[in-house]
């Protein structure tokens, strides 16, 4: 009977293995954060030392993006939400440009607030991101209601073309003297505030992950049950693949974390590039 109440949780720290007896109800939570704990204990990368001299800002209030940063071993960062309306005219952009521009404007919104804060004189890294679901050139963002969520999921299910989750990651930092004088912000066509951007370095990456829906086993009643669960209401496309939304798909090609909120390896590489 006792074995049902308690579970053994193994934790490695400083080359020692600890075994803890914990209530079983808390076990799923600890197993989800244990990669973060073991990362801090085992992975001593120079990137972490470089970050100590920076104020790291995540320009998002998404719990998923926060968790992915923590899984990367980045623990000391501020969270600042963007007030950008995310209302760009989709007809004026390709799908890739749309998600990249949206992430950029979200980052600029946070940057503007940061530069007015008490930390404005500090060296900083501001990481912004945006995620959309795309099928046949149609962009699916967060649903506005349960009806909209159902319609989005049904459209995605009925789409006969590949389904892609696209996440743009944009990092703003101060340009140092070794950087090229030709600022790389010029590629962000609609951004023209030179006074703000002239001293900035902007690094960006766009990641695509291909999804295949479980077409054979999905019907409208299943989609409605998922919508009624209230999961996915705040997520691009109206689903969360890390939850019961995973039942909607039979195959994933690419970075799973990209669907959740941030591409794992590419985010790490982009931070490395920013720190060079």
CB atoms near residue 40 (< 10 Å): 14
CB 239 within 8 A of CB 206: no
- Strand ranges, E, within the chain: 6-13, 16-23, 55-58, 78-79, 124-135, 138-140, 163-174, 200-213, 249-253
Question: Rg of the chain's alpha carbons, rounded to an integer?
Answer: 21
Catalytic residue check, 130: yes
CA distance 261 to 59: 13
- The one catalytic residue among 87, 130, 193, 199: 130
3-class secondary structure, 7: strand
CA distance 97 to 189: 10
CA distance 251 to 246: 10
CA distance 108 to 102: 10
Strand 200-213 to strand 6-13: parallel, antiparallel, or no bridges (unpaired)?
unpaired
CB 167 within 8 A of CB 261: yes
Closest CA to 27 of 61, 4, 49: 4
3-class secondary structure, 25: helix
- DSSP letter for 36, please: H
Residue 16, both tokens = 């020692």
Query: Would you please indicate which residues are annotated as catalytic (active-site) residues?
Result: 130
């Amino acid at each position: 009977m006792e074995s049902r109440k308690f579970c053994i949780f193994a934790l490695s720290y400083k080359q020692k293995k600890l075994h803890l007896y914990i209530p079983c109800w808390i076990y799923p939570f600890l197993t989800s954060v244990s990669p973060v704990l073991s990362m801090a204990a085992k992975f001593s990368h120079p990137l972490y030392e470089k970050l100590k001299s920076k104020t790291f800002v995540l320009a998002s209030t998404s719990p998923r993006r926060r968790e992915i940063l923590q899984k990367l071993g980045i623990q000391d960062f501020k969270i600042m939400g963007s007030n950008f309306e995310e209302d760009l005219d989709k007809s004026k952009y390709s799908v890739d440009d749309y998600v990249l521009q949206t992430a950029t404007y979200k980052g600029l919104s946070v940057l503007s607030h940061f530069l007015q804060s008490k930390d404005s004189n500090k060296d900083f890294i501001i990481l912004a991101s945006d995620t959309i679901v795309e099928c046949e050139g149609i962009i699916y963002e967060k649903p506005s209601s349960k009806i909209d969520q159902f319609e989005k999921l049904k459209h995605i299910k009925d789409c006969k073309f590949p389904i892609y989750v696209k996440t743009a990651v944009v990092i703003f930092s101060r340009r140092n003297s070794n950087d090229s004088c030709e600022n790389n912000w010029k590629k962000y066509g609609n951004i023209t505030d030179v006074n703000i951007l002239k001293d900035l370095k902007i690094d960006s990456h766009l990641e695509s992950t291909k999804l295949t829906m479980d077409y054979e086993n999905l019907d409208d009643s299943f989609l409605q049950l998922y919508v009624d669960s209230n999961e996915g209401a705040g997520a691009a496309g109206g689903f969360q693949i890390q939850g019961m939304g995973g039942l909607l798909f039979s195959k994933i090609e690419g970075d799973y974390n990209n669907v959740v909120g941030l591409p794992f390896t590419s985010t790490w590489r982009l931070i490395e590039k920013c720190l060079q």
